[in-house]
A = this chain, B = another copy of it.
């Protein structure tokens, strides 16, 4: 992951959110899924993925992989948001666990991702909930992200 350029500014917590925004706007896979940022604040990101004909596994049921992608992306954005950006930013999801609670049928999905704890060596422990437009809780997840 490459940082967005922030010429002439000192590294700061604002940079993390800017980096995440720049990344999301330029990511081919994120764009393909139609994922967009709703809210970003330190340690939290809310991302939405409107329903489209490209998302279902069959019929109108959104593929679990699309929901996983939204959750993973949300955790990364939350982890960057509020974090200081190093000179050469590198980051990766270390591990992800998702419980699928209900199908998402013909509706957009929103992921609310929060950093629960920032550990040593850049580890970020996140919790993510995914909900459809009508309020159905479709998935909950734990994501470990390394900045």
Interface size, chain A (Cβ < 8 Å): 54
Closest beta carbon of chain B to A83's beta carbon, Å: 16
Chain B residue nearest in CB terms to A123: B94
Mind listing 27 A-B residue pairs with CB under 8 Å?
A1-B57, A1-B59, A2-B59, A27-B58, A28-B53, A28-B56, A29-B55, A32-B32, A33-B65, A64-B93, A65-B65, A65-B68, A65-B73, A66-B69, A92-B100, A93-B100, A94-B99, A94-B123, A94-B144, A95-B144, A96-B96, A99-B144, A101-B116, A101-B119, A102-B117, A121-B121, A121-B146
Contact B73–A101 (Cβ < 8 Å): no
Given contacts A94-B99, A100-B93, contact A27 B2 (CB under 8 A): no
A146 to B: closest C-beta gap in Å: 7
Separation of A123 and B116 alpha carbons in the complex (Å):
20
Q: Which residues of B contact A122 (CB under 8 A)?
A: 121
Q: Which of A54-104 contact B (CB under 8 A)?
A: 54-59, 61-66, 68-70, 72-73, 92-103
- Measured CB to CB, the closest approach of chain B to A141, in angstroms, equals 8
A27 touches B63 (CB 8 A): yes
Are B29 and A57 in contact (CB-based, < 8 A)? yes
The answer to the question of A36 belonging to the interface, with a C-beta cut-off of 8 Å to chain B, is: no
Minimum CB distance partner of A3 in chain B: B58
